[in-house]
Amino acid sequence: MLSSNSEIRKSQQTIQDILSGSKIEFTAVDVAANRDDLNKMREVVGNPTALAPQIANGDVYCGDFEAFQEAVENKALKEFLKLPSE
């Protein structure tokens, strides 16, 4: 379980670093600290067993860490995050 937690933390840190570096405002939610937040995340994702990290723009689900990485690689982060074009 520890390696799993380590992987999750690494993924979360990567997401936060990329968003910060891209000057995209975000709110990180620790679903492990609050059962209501975990349930809300799973509701937004549409999967009662979904695990963090998951990315949403408000109540609109964007995708998981793999989809996030793919969007970054394809230079499509703003589209992935469902942000307005500038």
Q: Which domains does the chain have, with CATH numbers?
A: 2-80 (3.40.30.10)
Residue 7 pLDDT > 60 = yes
Residue 27 pLDDT > 80 = yes
Confidence of residue 4 (pLDDT cuts 50, 70, 90): low
Q: Residue 85: its pLDDT value, please?
A: 76
Instruction: Return mean pLDDT, the chain.
Output: 93
Q: What are phi and psi of 63, to 5 degrees?
A: 155, 180
Q: Residue 83: its pLDDT value, please?
A: 95
Residue 3 pLDDT > 80 = no
Q: What angle, rounded to 10 degrees, do the helices at 2-21 and 65-73 form?
A: 40
